[in-house]
Structure 1
Amino acid sequence: MSARPAGNAVVVGSGPNGLAAAITLAHAGMPVTVLEGAPGIGGGTRTEELTLPGFLHDVCSAVHPLAVASPFLATLPLHLHGLEWVYPEVQLAHPLDGGTAAILCRDIDETAAGLGADGAMYRRLMDPLSRQWDHLAPDLLAPLHFPRYPLQFALFGMKAVLPAMLFARLAFRAKPARALFTGMAAHSFLPLNQLLTAAFGLLLGSLGHTAGWPVAKGGSRAVTGAMASYLRSLGGTIVTDARITSVRELPPAQVVMLDVTARQLAELAGTLLPPRYRRRLQRYRYGPGVFKVDWALNGPIPWTAEGCRKAGTVHLGGTAEEVARGEQEVWRGVHPERPFVLLVQPSLLDSTRAPAGLHVGWAYCHVPNGSTFDMADRVEAQVERFAPGFRRLIIARHTRNCAGYERYDPNFIGGDINGGVQDLRQFLARPTLLSPYRTPLKGVYLCSSGTPPGGGVHGMCGYHAATAALQDQGYLEP
């Protein structure tokens, strides 16, 4: 490391990526101030009493395999700042009609045993990925570059680039394994006949065995709460209720890190940006939004399938074909009658989430970007389909549509919580091809989920953006 030049940094946004950028800069000795427009920190990792007093609901993200597996977050002593992970007995369950369910356990052999004739193929797919995760993670969760372990990366890429439905048909013979895989692939928010969607199924499946799918004790706010506490221990400052509407409003700084997506950068910087770059930002595409329901419940959800009663996360969508059909309808602008629903039951693991004997439930489905359609009945019908009697347990509910999510966090444009479409085109250019974090403005960088590696609570976008800034400013060797 070269001699440290004098200078300071301002970070706009206190989500995981903004805080990761701030911590990276502070590690290098740069004074850092984080400006957060909301009254509290967190971005997509806030926890609030959305229904009734004493019921703690994660407003956006709830389950965090990527946070546990993040090469950057793993280096931070967040456990000393209040972060505690709680793991379910079953990481994920995907029920099917008839009372059965495919389940994802930490143990690969246990998972494979539940998949019958497809168990051997599942083991052959996931075992190498799980064993090689520490080698693959720094390359997978990074911008385009020559990988450190090119052979392992290439072998993963040959499978990952395939459409999820094609991959599921080629790899598995029976409904349970196909459903389990396509449900994980549907986290991509993409039609499952598109290239690269298999990557999400492979990645999330292998993470179930390496990192697990835990929740944070006390709610997802504990993740950014611990990051903020650690940043302050490094001398960093966080200012809330400090909304920025133009880069001209920012205090003088050697480095400015913006935890915003492409369209927001175009609005914040306006004519300060070269016209060609601004047009590129304006062409950046946003994907489906979400409709979310939170419930205060009078008891645990009465799943028919035993595996669902032990799972932290439950995917509701029936067969692989039904999941794919619902996701395709969303991309056509249709609200599915039977949506694919991602459901979390955190109070099964964490007793701090609800009063004694009571529970909370968290669920969302994908909807067309900008939708204001009320999907609550359709979401609850999917739960009732696999857990008869569920509706009788509801004490109170809270719903939020796409418009509500964009008001909650300006990064969620049209309700897109992923920071933009994560298809092959925007995997390669997010938002630009050769320099995703640097902008044409001197000392100004993007550090949001609109940069590689994209959505998820992992902090890697912020880490990579801050590393680029430190190299440019002479704190690190390129």
Structure 2
Amino acid sequence: MSDADVVVIGSGHNGLSAAMYLAKAGWKVVVLEQSQVPGGAAKSGEVTKPGFIHDLYATNLGLFLGSPVYRDFGPMLTQSGLALEVSSEPYASVFPHGTALSMYTDAEKSLASIANFSPEDAEAWQHLVDYFQRVSPYLFPLLQMPVPSFEFGRGIFRMTRALGWTGTQELLSLLLQSPREFVESWFSSKEMQALLIPWGFHLDYGPDVSGGATFPFLESVADHLNGMAIARGGIGLLVHSMINIIKGYGGQVEVNAPVTQILTDNAGHATGVKLSDGRTIAARRAVLANVNIRTLFESLVDPTVVNHGFLKRIQKFRFGPGTMMVHLALSGEVPWLNPSVTRSMYVHIGPYVNDVARTYQQAVAGYLPDSPLLVVGQQSQWDHSRAPDGMHTVWIQVRAVPGHPIGDAAGSIVTTDWSTMGPLYAQRVLDKLEEYAPGVTSRILAMTVMTPQDLQNDNPNLVGGDSISGSHHLDQFYFLRPVPGWSRYRTPVPGLWVVGASTWPGGGLNAVSGYLAAQALLKSRGRH
């Protein structure tokens, strides 16, 4: 049996973030990744044709760049190979008849784009930006604190002193709104409302789900102010930079190393792991699992060492609807009807709020949506290393689809097996893209479709293709994530910790759970 101070299961960015801090502190760290390629949902590769580099799943680095991890390791990540490309045209939405609403880091250009549809909405947008700049210095830090905690309480106190009691209540009211309530309370034109709605759906907030206003509010304004950042050469270079740092501190990272069991002693304390090849690795201080909470306790932990009540709560942890990815290698850029979106990093195709609401309801009911929301990523417009000269990659996130379909809302696809359904549904995606970019299909050199089942096969954390590793609805978010009483990364098994998107603060490349768990481990010195 080999040994370590801490064994990290999984090489998602949160597991790697924790490993960097622990290795820097002098702990002997071993990271074990079941896949051949590290990174979890942060992977890139030539999945269509040689020379075309695609981010397979996650791509937007905005949250990571605002994280404590980037604050503490940014220069080292750069030295280890991470470079950024930042789009000054972060996102847009396209509508029928060739109309579009594009956002820019240039405030005047953004206001002019909005004013094309509603001068009143342009004025309202400026008010929203002003409001964001007033509240975000107090709100963003809360999203990087353990909950519940005295630190979080002090953050609320600072916010209340700055905004006043009424101002704090007004902010809370906004955050608890549904995405539809949020956009309708600020804007009158259906185009401006539709521009912000998809941001909630990047998580699992359909337009009418309470609590879903937070991400549309924060992401839409933050991207306008800061631009949208991606990793030059693919997001995999972020992962490799993190691994280089871990190795530089003496840590080990091993791929093709599936863990099959968390080892425990007679007292029920986690003592190490067993791998699929029969090896065991002892963990003197802790086992830290970058594993979905249900997968962890249903597949890796002996149920006899866990309280039955906790297991019942874990079994109720819900997953959101699935995601399908379509990657294209194109002979040229996307021929949008409206050329103003040609260089937008993200182009959302809903088109309108009610269309997105229908898509969400169909997906959660188990039906393939008749017209899914498309998030069209144009990374090669800003990172020219991702495709040969004059050619482009296109990254399409299809939101949302059921992980286990029972039928087709359009009635034309009769199979419910993703292995045969995937190509058929991908054609529906291409047909919708063609409506807004006529001729795009004639430019396709190669295409790779990744169904929800493919996502789960590649990364077991993405159960049913749920790209955010568990619903973010209010009953399992904030201090209730993953389950009541266990929001601070410890588990009922002493010595076993958990991080990742199924823990607070949830999905996205935010690196927060890895950071917070590492700080807690260092403070406790790994004592049970």
TM-score band by shorter chain is over 0.9
> Which residue of structure 2 lines up, in the alignment, with residue 418 of structure 1?
468
Please say if residues 71 and 137 of structure 1, whose CA atoms lie closer than 8 Å, have aligned partners that are also in contact: no
> Which residue of structure 1 lines up, in the alignment, with residue 293 of structure 2?
262
> Which residue of structure 1 lines up, in the alignment, with residue 99 of structure 2?
100
Aligned pairs (5 A) from 1:217-232: 217-232=232-247
Alpha-carbon separation, structure 2, partners of 1:306 and 1:333: 36
Cα deviation per residue 1:325-364 (whole Å; 9 max; x = unaligned)? 2122211222111110111011111111112221111102
Task: Name which of 124, 128, 131 aligns with 1:128.
Answer: 131
> Which residue of structure 2 lines up, in the alignment, with residue 464 of structure 1?
516
Quote the offset at 1:131 in angstroms: 5.6
Quote the offset at 1:110 in angstroms: 3.2
Alpha-carbon separation, structure 1, partners of 2:451 and 2:201: 19
1:139 and 2:152 equivalent?
Answer: no
Aligned pairs (5 A) from 1:7-406: 8-76=5-73, 77=75, 78-116=77-115, 117-130=120-133, 132-145=135-148, 146=153, 148=155, 149-151=158-160, 155-248=170-263, 249=274, 251-253=281-283, 254-266=285-297, 267-271=299-303, 272-365=305-398, 366-371=400-405, 372=418, 373-374=421-422, 375-406=425-456
Please say if residues 47 and 54 of structure 2, whose CA atoms lie closer than 8 Å, have aligned partners that are also in contact: yes
1:434 and 2:434 equivalent?
Answer: no
CA 1:342–1:54: 2 relative to 1, 3 Å? same
CA RMSD in angstroms comes to 1.9
Please say if residues 207 and 353 of structure 2, whose CA atoms lie closer than 8 Å, have aligned partners that are also in contact: no
CA 1:57–1:157: 2 relative to 1, 3 Å? same
Alpha-carbon separation, structure 2, partners of 1:133 and 1:79: 27
| Higher CA-based Rg | 2
Alpha-carbon separation, structure 1, partners of 2:170 and 2:146: 18
Alpha-carbon separation, structure 2, partners of 1:62 and 1:465: 24
Residue identity over aligned pairs, in percent, reads 30
Quote the offset at 1:48 in angstroms: 1.3
TM-score, normalised by the number of residues in structure 2:
0.85
Please say if residues 51 and 295 of structure 1, whose CA atoms lie closer than 8 Å, have aligned partners that are also in contact: yes
Instruction: Letter of the 1:239 partner, please give it.
Output: E
SS at match of 1:321: helix
Quote the offset at 1:265 in angstroms: 1.3
SS at match of 2:505: coil
Alpha-carbon separation, structure 1, partners of 2:24 and 2:137: 23
Quote the offset at 1:17 in angstroms: 0.6
Alpha-carbon separation, structure 1, partners of 2:282 and 2:235: 33
Alpha-carbon separation, structure 2, partners of 1:304 and 1:89: 21
Please say if residues 189 and 287 of structure 1, whose CA atoms lie closer than 8 Å, have aligned partners that are also in contact: yes
Alpha-carbon separation, structure 2, partners of 1:340 and 1:306: 20
Cα deviation per residue 1:406-426 (whole Å; 9 max; x = unaligned)? 110011111111010000011
Please say if residues 92 and 311 of structure 1, whose CA atoms lie closer than 8 Å, have aligned partners that are also in contact: yes
> Which residue of structure 2 lines up, in the alignment, with residue 3 of structure 1?
none
Aligned residues, how many?
A: 470
Instruction: Identify which range, 137-146 or 197-206, moves more after superposition.
Output: 137-146
Quote the offset at 1:246 in angstroms: 0.8
Please say if residues 314 and 343 of structure 1, whose CA atoms lie closer than 8 Å, have aligned partners that are also in contact: yes
Quote the offset at 1:27 in angstroms: 3.2
Alpha-carbon separation, structure 1, partners of 2:37 and 2:201: 31
Please say if residues 200 and 206 of structure 2, whose CA atoms lie closer than 8 Å, have aligned partners that are also in contact: no
